[in-house]
Structure 1
Amino acid sequence: MKGNGGEALRLGMLEELKGSFLSISAVEAEKLVEEIAGAKKVFIYGLGRERLMLLAFGMRLMHLGIKVHIVGDVSTPAIERGDLWLTSSGTGRLATVEALMGIVEASGARTVFFTAFPDAPLPQRADLVIRIPARTMREDEGGTPSVQPMGSLFEQSQLLLFDWIVLLLADRLGQTEAGMAGRHTNLE
């Protein structure tokens, strides 16, 4: 690795990211587009680095003109029937997601769950599960191998998925890049 700038690592990262991203179901992606396009409001919740990917997605949804809220912000309204809750746990296990899922279920809102472990009990409670075939923190339980540490591959694949969904939504909603740019914050 010394002397070549880690070229083998860079190429390995790109190859595994390509493999993971291209393994995400196009059918599931289309279902996600339908869910978002049909929701009154979209709520986003995640933790750690997955939260950062979800926040980037939330920003782009706002740029598309979708009413989106980040769970935990003081301006987040109540979730209701007709709304959509997007959450993520690469491992399929997260106590806070489990607690919030109970509230979402009681509200009548729909749930989308992003995970590498779709057969785990928690994702099975969701209305739509998007499988991201990538290594997570549960590497010891059969996750996809990766040259990268911990859940980096999952999070990178997640960001690419979200950008793909934005492109599909923009087409579905008739949004242009100029229209999206018009919604970009001017409080900078």
Structure 2
Amino acid sequence: MFAGALDEIRAVLEAGADVEADRLCDELLRARRIATYGVGREGLMMRALCMRLMHLGLDAHVVGDMTTPHLGGADLFVVSAGPGTFSTVNALLGVARDAGARTVVVTAQPDGPAPRSADTVIHLRAQTMADDRGGDNVLPMGSLYEAA
């Protein structure tokens, strides 16, 4: 089972996740300030990413924390929307755009409403809860997307 889970993650990484990670890094390094957001387990992954960015010396914050500053023109808003849309993600993308911030959506569904409204889309070719059909996958629901 462990080897099967690793094989599933490896397949996502080999499907271009490294190129997508480079694109995300370019966006992160251009930003004066970074805010991250996600829903549920995706939110936990975005919180972990934010912490690592802060450890690397970047000015990074999680939307919803008490100390998160407002965003402006030189800033970046990074959200995860694995299935392509969440109402809160869509609303916050609008707020970030209105503030003049650049927006990045990390997703497995690049044709969803949230990615279509973003400046940059990071496409992870992984199963989410939106397209989980059971099957033979070792990693259930959105676990593969979240791990990638």
Give your verdict on TM over 0.5. Answer: yes
Question: Following TM superposition, by how much is the alpha carbon of 1:128 offset from its aligned partner in structure 2, in angstroms?
Answer: 0.9
Equivalent of 2:143, from 149, 152, 161? 152
* Per-residue Cα deviation, 1:94-132 (whole angstroms, up to 9, x for no partner): 000011111011111001101100111220111111111
Question: Following TM superposition, by how much is the alpha carbon of 1:133 offset from its aligned partner in structure 2, in angstroms?
Answer: 0.8
Q: Secondary structure at the match of 1:129?
A: strand
1:131 aligns with 2:123: yes
Supply the RMSD in Å over aligned alpha carbons.
1.9
The answer as to whether partners of 2:81 and 2:114 remain within 8 angstroms in 1 is: no
Name the counterpart of 2:63.
71
* Per-residue Cα deviation, 1:63-114 (whole angstroms, up to 9, x for no partner): 1110011100111111111100010011001000011111011111001101
* Per-residue Cα deviation, 1:2-57 (whole angstroms, up to 9, x for no partner): xxxxxxx2221111110012213444322211111110100011111111111111
- Any unmatched runs of 5+ in structure 2? none
Give the whole-Å Cα distance in 1 for the aligned partners of 2:85 and 2:136: 19
- Any unmatched runs of 5+ in structure 1? 1-8, 158-188
Give the whole-Å Cα distance in 1 for the aligned partners of 2:27 and 2:119: 10
The answer as to whether partners of 1:139 and 1:145 remain within 8 angstroms in 2 is: no
Question: Following TM superposition, by how much is the alpha carbon of 1:139 offset from its aligned partner in structure 2, in angstroms?
Answer: 1.7
Give the whole-Å Cα distance in 2 for the aligned partners of 1:49 and 1:95: 16
How many residues get paired? 148
Identity of aligned residues (%): 45
Superposition pairs for residues 6-155 of structure 1, below 5 Å? Answer: 9-139=1-131, 146-155=137-146
Cα distance change, pair 118–66 in 1 and its aligned pair in 2 (3 A): same
Q: Secondary structure at the match of 1:138?
A: helix
The answer as to whether partners of 1:135 and 1:146 remain within 8 angstroms in 2 is: no
**Runs of 4 or more off by more than 4 Å in structure 1?**
none
Give the whole-Å Cα distance in 2 for the aligned partners of 1:16 and 1:80: 38
Provide the TM-score with structure 1 as the length reference: 0.74
Question: Following TM superposition, by how much is the alpha carbon of 1:145 offset from its aligned partner in structure 2, in angstroms?
Answer: 6.7
Question: Which has the greater radius of gyration?
Answer: 1
